Amino acid sequence: MPKIEKSDAEWRTELSPEEFRVTREKGTERAFTGRYWDSHENGTYQCICCGAPLFRSETKFDSGCGWPSFHTPNDEKLVDEHVDRSFGMSRTEVTCHDCGAHLGHVFPDGPAPTGLRYCINSASLKLQPDES
């Protein structure tokens, strides 16, 4: 499937200012402020930009960091990883494979089964609740 490409003007018409800043400008929201950091609803966390099904609620855990954290992506082909050396640090950035949206970062301090912590901005996600 080809990558989704849109101009900044197009993204701005579809996203809130905060969603645009986080996903298109590689921003971050303040810890403990995002709509999903303390969410316990069952469902699929989709990319706010393109709707790709990135993470399932079963893989979400409370890492104490103030952002939604997941130990496993829904499908590893849906997230890309990149070296991020901004702010004098070396981290692994996570982006949406389909549209390139900045999602957050992944760290090697998560729980089993992967030992990974995908620390994801709420502003880059949209929860599609499971049907009852």
Task: Give the catalytic positions in this structure.
Answer: 119
Q: Which residues pair with 69 in a beta bridge?
A: 61, 119
Cα separation, 83 vs 96, whole angstroms: 15
- Ramachandran assignment for 110, one of left (phi > 0), alpha (psi -120 to 50 degrees), beta (any other): beta
Instruction: Provide the CB-side half-sphere exposure for 2 (13 A, CA).
Output: 3
Place of tokens 């900045």: 102
Burial 36-74 (b: 16+ CB within 10 A, else e): bbebeeebbbbbbbbebebbbbebbeebeeebbbbbbbb
